[in-house]
Chains A and B, each alone.
Chain A
Amino acid sequence: MSEGFAHHDPDVVLRARGIAVRLGGAPVLEDVDLDVSPGAIVGLIGANGAGKTTLLRVLLGILRPQSGRVHRPDRRAGIGYVPQKISLDPHAPLRARDVVMLGLDGARLGIPLGRGRLRGAVDEALARVGATGFADARVGELSGGQQQRVLLAHAIVSRPALLLLDEPLASLDPVSARDVVVLLDELRRQSGVAIVVTAHDLTLLLPVLDRVAYLAGGRAAVGTPAEVVRDDVLSELYRRPMRVIEAAGRTFVVADEGVTNA
């Protein structure tokens, strides 16, 4: 991998420079830069196919970009990852607490022995995400929202410096989605973990975002929400008129054309 920058900056947990990815010949990302500071929440916002998950995989270090460099914390303990969803047989003998335990020792060879001393950390992580009530249930039997909490506990149990979440709000009802946003906000305040989160809509996330990378057509508009979530910047990015609308204390981004009954 193309890791390693000459100068390590303590104010940056993750630094990506000039990331370009082509998949099957088609450009997915072109020259994307991103910095993530400790305790910050950064949103990767874009439609399906805009390259959010591709960028996340590059940041995670499991997809090698055609060009560009990424500086990231050590993978095993330093990065927690929460996939969008998992498909596990309901009978699979993996309890919620087993999944969290794998966050501590899953990369080790051999059968697990002497895990007793790790149990406290597992219970703490489960409690932190509100998953204590189903800690002994099979993960395959849990609802999507419950599975996500278990995966979040798995991701934070090793006390990572960086947390990457793929579409954590996508399949949640509005109340659960808000609970997850509040939980992420608490996590970064209490532990100083930096969080990168993808979403196709920024409305729910915007109140907690420090930086936003808006993705469209392989390009990215990166900056603070005040710098990026603007009519002119988004219109330039999408190459069509875009409007940022404030209503009921929330911010919505809509395409301007075609909305006739204003």
Chain B
Amino acid sequence: MSAVLSAFFVSPTVQTALVVGTVVAVVSGIVGVLTITRGQSFAGHALADLGAVGGSGAFLLGVSQLWGFVLAGVVSAVAMEAIGTRRLEGRDVATGVVFGAGMGLTALFLTLDTLIGGSSNAAISVLFGSLFSVDSRLVPVILALGAATLAIVAAVWRWVSLETLDRDLAAARGVPTRWASTLFLIALALSVQLSSLSIGAILSTALLIGPAATALLFTRRLGTAAALAAVIAVGQVGVGCLVSFASYDWFGGNSWPVSFTIVAAVFLTYMGARAVDALRPLINRTAVA
């Protein structure tokens, strides 16, 4: 095991993956707590679906899928806010058709990527991510995008808390509610797209919702929940990278995909936390008795 560990930490691929993964985990955990608090998990899924159109289209243009994800995500966020996210949820038929069309377009682009662009791994890369194949030259950009996302979230933190409670109430307090919700949705889009780059568009909301939902089982405070979710997510990404890396030896050169191991870590942590949460009354009773 120590041989695996020393190989793990000296591999440049792993180093890039850990840096990118840590940024994505911190951002996803913090944004995820506010997303659940605002009841916008649905918007997170929608932004992942629509971002995939950009991610898959980017291959056709020969640019990094990161730019496709980010551009499509931010444009979708602004459009969704213009239409109104609550209205979108109320009209699930029309919304389902539009997002279905987005996934259809993604399918078309992915086929064209293979046929024209010769990127045979585009489908796996866009849909299921590629933390171990992130171009190390993108690291500064990813760091900047992560910092920008956290800066937006920090700026609108209280505006968004009030707006979550009641839009009119926030407006009555002098909060520019339109700006608050639009800026938060842009932060959500950036978070989901960074996550799409790492673990794929289909799995990206796992890292958004999973660590945050786990943290919310253990605290009633918004700030504490955000910090806890970030720590949990970093742990899950780290463990996921390590297990994926180590599994190379277990299966004679065919490692488990890192997206699978990360999402498995997210899932198992959440189930474990739910179990602890369910047992809590029992433990307390034993302690009293």
Listed in ascending order, the chain A residues whose CB lies under 8 Å from chain B are: 57, 60-62, 75-76, 79, 81, 83, 86, 88-89, 91-95, 98-99, 102-103, 105-112, 136-139, 151, 154, 164
Shortest CB distance B154–A (Å): 5
CB-defined contacts of B174 to chain A, threshold 8 Å = 75-76, 107
Cα distance A88–B225 in the bound complex, in angstroms: 17
CB–CB A106/B220 < 8 A: no
Taking the closest CB of chain A, its distance from the CB of B284, in whole angstroms, is 17
- Which of B69-77, B165-173, B195-203 interfaces with chain A? B165-173
User: In this assembly, does B219 line the interface, its C-beta being within 8 Å of a C-beta of chain A?
Assistant: yes
CB pair A83 B161 closer than 8 Å:
no
Contact B162 A107 (CB under 8 A): yes
A79 vs B175: C-alpha distance when bound (angstroms): 13
Q: Which residues of A contact B36 (CB under 8 A)?
A: 89, 91-92
List 7 A-B pairs, Cβ < 8 Å: A61-B172, A89-B37, A94-B161, A99-B165, A102-B158, A106-B161, A106-B173
Best-buried of A86, A99, A111 by chain B (most CB within 10 Å)? A111
A76 near B173 (CB under 8 angstroms)? yes
Task: Give the Cβ gap from B157 to chain A, nearest Cβ, in Å.
Answer: 5
Answer whether residue B221 sits at the interface, using C-beta atoms and an 8 A cutoff: yes
Q: Cβ of A93: which chain B residues have Cβ within 8 Å of it? A: 33, 37, 216, 219-222, 224-225
B164 to chain A minimum Cβ distance, whole angstroms, is 7
Q: How far is the CA of A112 from the CA of B190 in the complex (A)?
A: 23
Q: Which 8 residue pairs of A and B lie closest in terms of their CB atoms, listed nearest first?
A: A81-B172, A106-B162, A62-B171, A76-B174, A107-B174, A92-B37, A93-B225, A83-B166
Which residues in chain B, 145-180, are within 8 Å of chain A measured between CB atoms?
Answer: 154-159, 161-162, 164-166, 168-175
What would 16 more interface pairs be, CB under 8 Å, given A92-B164, A112-B223?
A75-B172, A75-B173, A75-B174, A76-B173, A86-B166, A92-B37, A94-B37, A94-B164, A94-B165, A94-B222, A106-B175, A107-B162, A110-B157, A111-B223, A112-B157, A136-B220
Inter-chain contact A60/B158, CB cutoff 8 Å: no
